[in-house]
Chain A
Amino acid sequence: MGDLFAQALNGLSYGVLLFLLSVGLTLIFGMLDVVNLAHGSYYMLGAYAGLSLIAATGNFWLALGLAPLAVGVVGAVVERTCLRPLYRRGPLDQVLLTFGLIYVFEDLVKWIWGGRIRSIPTPELFASSVNVWGAVIPSYRLFVIGFGLAMAVALWLVIERTRLGAIIRAGVYDSEMTAGMGINIHRVFTLVFAFGAALAGLSGVIAGPIQSAYPPMGASILIPALIVVVVGGLGSLKGSLAGSLLIGQAETFGKAWLPGASMLIIYVVMAVVLLVRPQGLFGRALK
């Protein structure tokens, strides 16, 4: 029983990381209609910006606050200069562009930080492990769980309870109609894209002490994030959270109980969801 609970906590911490990464992806997807394959690059940029900020200030918490801002600025610039001219073109052009951006960012990171494997040290405050009802878990992972769930609540409040959130929801539903209502939809696009990138950057810093930082790290995290988006439903905050937690648990218990088939589990979950609910757990029914 202690075993089950310990694995559930492991799955929760992994799921929460996936949530922070995929929520930006799903909002960008839902609102801008852009399959942003370079989303993992912002995750990578976050980790590296975090590394530099920690090296400069010695303070993990400062890096956690500042790195996402820097990544958000990069996201805004990319949206204004690269993506905006492509909105009227087909999805293939956007996929090609964002796919190309993966390589640009990867080389940029190699150029600035080098190709060596790096890693963000665990903050002193959470360096040990703790016993939670018989389950031993690193205290840092408990922090990740708490922080991620708090972010989910905060995001929900913004999207469901503020004027900006209403505009974003309207934009996800029908961006042309929203523009027709007198909203400067382009400004909202930039904001959402920058915000999504900043969240990816944030998850890069958060994941830093658990995982290593290396140039193709963004590409390897992209697949699970895309699966979460598909499972949860495009453009849905709730879907992104539910999808992340589901995939987090499925992958963790797969590794623990069916190690031989663990790589398959998340794909099986995705296939089952697609068969039963093609629009994803919380997605709008397909037109």
Chain B
Amino acid sequence: MAQLTRRKFLGGASAIAAGAAAGPWVLRAHAQGAPIKIGLVLPYSGVYAVLGESITQAMELVFARENWTVAGRKIEMIKEDDEMQPPVGIRKTEKLIESDKVDILTGPVHSGILMGMRDKVHNSKTILIVSNAGADAISRERCSKWIFRTSFSNWQPNQPMGGWVAKNVSKDVFIMAPNYQAGKDQLGAFKETFVPAGGKLVGEDYPKLGETDYAPYLTKVRQSGAKAVYAFFSGTDAVNFVKQYDQFGLKQSIKLTGAGFLTEPDVLPAQGRSALGVITGHFYTPLLENPTNVAFVRDFRAKFGGKMPDGFACQGYDTAETIVRALKAVGGNTQDKEKLVAAIEATAFESPRGPFRFDPKTHNVIQPFIYIREVKEVAGGLNNVPFDKVADVRDPGTGCTLPA
């Protein structure tokens, strides 16, 4: 078996050597072990490029710390722009699996791309470490032993918020999210704890994704008698919604709360003072005071021109950290995939967000904490200041039956 893979590998290596006319170099490379190829399927253009950029930068930070070498093998990142379009993302995934023959895949940001990638990855037994997309299904009925997730399931930041809002803000709440799967997933998770805690939904609306004018919905909010709003929006939707919410004068009388993405650093500067006072739940904020995060924020800012890391950067950090630790555990052997999967599953470390570990039942991260944060003016501008938290948030994983 070992003979076979070795021969196969040599065949591949000499083919490359012939192509590149660099025989001696390739032979040397093989002596040290060929590079470990990590394929990234992320948005590098368009509005969501800033998310792909944060994830990638944090990964580069971790790999650079390891001198781009783990267990004697070079680490090579192959970046593909998925343009936030499922057909493009799926095509790039096929390219990375079939022609680049990557050892580990990571990405995507878009849940639709993730759902499209799922069978390609599962059937080809390619290891995928999801570094953003939150589709619940990947930790539920569509889970796979080859798929891990370091980011979140959509359920995770929202489910604790339902009970928290009912207890600490108001029991009369209007909820709103964009009209697509993630939006409905997130509000569904909120309702799971909000209603049992005595909360009453006074209204519920699903504006289209990419909405530019929320006026009709905001007028409904005012007329509904709601005491608070719980919203999930991200990107330009989050900017437009938060600004218009403030312009309609709702902020003073009806508290705005939401999932963390509503006021993440990718949108906060554009929202400006309109975001002051917004309360959100998220697994990360750069203001956490644990030593790992303090070092992460310092190094990240030093490497990337003073840029503050965000939740997306934390996801990238944890993805790269998982890769490095698991590869060290198996001595850089990426051929024995079963062993590598077991090593990833067992990976645990101190992350900027708190103690990081995977749930063996679903391969999804167990959020050490969902931090409740309020947007305030602090040194360096607006930021999400944590003031409360809910511990150990684990996706229920309904319908997921991973082989133990």
Query: Residues on A close to B: CB < 8 A?
Result: 2-3, 6-7, 10-11, 13-14, 115-119, 121-122, 127-129, 135-138, 140-141, 207, 209-217, 220-221, 251-253, 255-256, 259-260, 262-263
A7 to B325 Cα, complex, angstroms: 56
Known: A212-B240, A256-B219. 19 other contacts (CB 8 A): A3-B219, A117-B47, A117-B270, A118-B269, A136-B222, A138-B248, A210-B213, A210-B240, A211-B236, A212-B239, A212-B243, A216-B46, A216-B47, A217-B236, A252-B215, A253-B216, A255-B207, A256-B220, A263-B208
A253 to B219 Cα, complex, angstroms: 11
A10 to B272 Cα, complex, angstroms: 23
A262 to B208 Cα, complex, angstroms: 8
Which residue of chain B is the closest to A13 with respect to CB atoms?
Answer: B215
A-B CB pair tally, cutoff 8 Å: 109
Interface size class of B (residues with CB under 8 A): 35 or more
Which residue of chain A is the closest to B45 with respect to CB atoms?
Answer: A115
Instruction: Answer whether residue B67 sits at the interface, using C-beta atoms and an 8 A cutoff.
Output: no
Residues of chain B lying within 8 A (CB to CB) of residue A117: 47, 50, 235-236, 239, 266-267, 270
Tell whether, in the assembled complex, residue B243 and residue A116 are in contact, meaning their CB atoms are under 8 Å apart.
no
A222 to B280 Cα, complex, angstroms: 34
Contacts A255-B207, A262-B208 given; does A10 touch B216 at CB 8 Å: yes
Q: List 10 A-B contacts (CB under 8 A).
A: A6-B219, A117-B267, A119-B239, A119-B243, A122-B243, A209-B247, A210-B213, A212-B270, A253-B216, A255-B216
Contacts A10-B219, A117-B235 given; does A136 touch B248 at CB 8 Å: yes
Tell whether, in the assembled complex, residue A141 and residue B215 are in contact, meaning their CB atoms are under 8 Å apart.
yes
Which residue of chain B is the closest to A257 with respect to CB atoms?
Answer: B216
A23 to chain B, nearest CB (A): 19
Residues of chain A lying within 8 A (CB to CB) of residue B207: 255, 259, 262
Tell whether, in the assembled complex, residue A119 and residue B216 are in contact, meaning their CB atoms are under 8 Å apart.
no
Contacts A128-B249, A129-B248, A216-B46 given; does A119 touch B215 at CB 8 Å: no
Contacts A117-B270, A119-B239, A210-B243 given; does A256 touch B50 at CB 8 Å: no
B309 to chain A, nearest CB (A): 16
Tell whether, in the assembled complex, residue B249 and residue A214 are in contact, meaning their CB atoms are under 8 Å apart.
no
Tell whether, in the assembled complex, residue A121 and residue B216 are in contact, meaning their CB atoms are under 8 Å apart.
no
Contacts A121-B272, A136-B222, A137-B248 given; does A256 touch B210 at CB 8 Å: no
Residues of chain A lying within 8 A (CB to CB) of residue B349: none
A252 to B218 Cα, complex, angstroms: 11
Residues of chain B lying within 8 A (CB to CB) of residue A263: 179, 208
Question: In the complex, which of the residues A13, A116, A212, A221 has the most CB atoms of chain B within 10 Å of its own CB atom?
Answer: A212
Residues of chain B lying within 8 A (CB to CB) of residue A209: 243, 247
Which residue of chain B is the closest to A6 with respect to CB atoms?
Answer: B219
Residues of chain A lying within 8 A (CB to CB) of residue B223: 2-3, 6
Residues of chain A lying within 8 A (CB to CB) of residue B47: 115, 117, 214-216
Partner of A136, one of B249, B267, B272: B249
Tell whether, in the assembled complex, residue B222 and residue A122 are in contact, meaning their CB atoms are under 8 Å apart.
no
Instruction: Answer whether residue B244 sits at the interface, using C-beta atoms and an 8 A cutoff.
Output: yes
Tell whether, in the assembled complex, residue B46 and residue A116 are in contact, meaning their CB atoms are under 8 Å apart.
no
A14 to B216 Cα, complex, angstroms: 10
Contacts A3-B219, A10-B215, A136-B249 given; does A119 touch B210 at CB 8 Å: no
Tell whether, in the assembled complex, residue B247 and residue A138 are in contact, meaning their CB atoms are under 8 Å apart.
yes
A30 to B210 Cα, complex, angstroms: 30
Which residue of chain A is the closest to B218 with respect to CB atoms?
Answer: A10
B273 to chain A, nearest CB (A): 8
Partner of A119, one of B50, B249, B272: B272
Instruction: Answer whether residue B212 sits at the interface, using C-beta atoms and an 8 A cutoff.
Output: yes
Tell whether, in the assembled complex, residue A215 and residue B240 are in contact, meaning their CB atoms are under 8 Å apart.
no
A247 to chain B, nearest CB (A): 12
Residues of chain B lying within 8 A (CB to CB) of residue A6: 219, 223
Instruction: Answer whether residue B330 sits at the interface, using C-beta atoms and an 8 A cutoff.
Output: no
Task: List B residues 61-119 near A (Cβ within 8 Å).
Answer: none
A48 to chain B, nearest CB (A): 13
Residues of chain A lying within 8 A (CB to CB) of residue B50: 115-117
Task: List B residues 124-156 near A (Cβ within 8 Å).
Answer: none
A220 to B269 Cα, complex, angstroms: 22
Task: List B residues 209-236 near A (Cβ within 8 Å).
Answer: 210, 212-213, 215-217, 219-220, 222-223, 235-236
A122 to B274 Cα, complex, angstroms: 10
Instruction: Answer whether residue B392 sits at the interface, using C-beta atoms and an 8 A cutoff.
Output: no
Residues of chain A lying within 8 A (CB to CB) of residue B205: 259
Tell whether, in the assembled complex, residue B216 and residue A256 are in contact, meaning their CB atoms are under 8 Å apart.
yes
Residues of chain A lying within 8 A (CB to CB) of residue B249: 128-129, 136, 138
Residues of chain B lying within 8 A (CB to CB) of residue A138: 244, 247-249
Instruction: Answer whether residue B206 sits at the interface, using C-beta atoms and an 8 A cutoff.
Output: yes
Residues of chain B lying within 8 A (CB to CB) of residue A207: 212
Instruction: Answer whether residue B271 sits at the interface, using C-beta atoms and an 8 A cutoff.
Output: yes
Contacts A115-B49, A117-B270, A214-B47 given; does A7 touch B247 at CB 8 Å: no
Question: In the complex, which of the residues B49, B205, B207, B270 has the most CB atoms of chain A within 10 Å of its own CB atom?
Answer: B270
Residues of chain A lying within 8 A (CB to CB) of residue B215: 10, 13-14, 141, 252
A245 to chain B, nearest CB (A): 14
Tell whether, in the assembled complex, residue A14 and residue B248 are in contact, meaning their CB atoms are under 8 Å apart.
no
Contacts A7-B216, A10-B219 given; does A259 touch B236 at CB 8 Å: no
Tell whether, in the assembled complex, residue A116 and residue B266 are in contact, meaning their CB atoms are under 8 Å apart.
yes
Residues of chain A lying within 8 A (CB to CB) of residue B220: 256
Tell whether, in the assembled complex, residue B247 and residue A140 are in contact, meaning their CB atoms are under 8 Å apart.
yes
B200 to chain A, nearest CB (A): 20
Residues of chain B lying within 8 A (CB to CB) of residue A121: 272
Contacts A6-B219, A116-B266, A255-B207 given; does A220 touch B49 at CB 8 Å: no
A252 to B207 Cα, complex, angstroms: 11
Which residue of chain B is the closest to A135 with respect to CB atoms?
Answer: B219
Task: List B residues 239-256 near A (Cβ within 8 Å).
Answer: 239-240, 243-244, 247-249
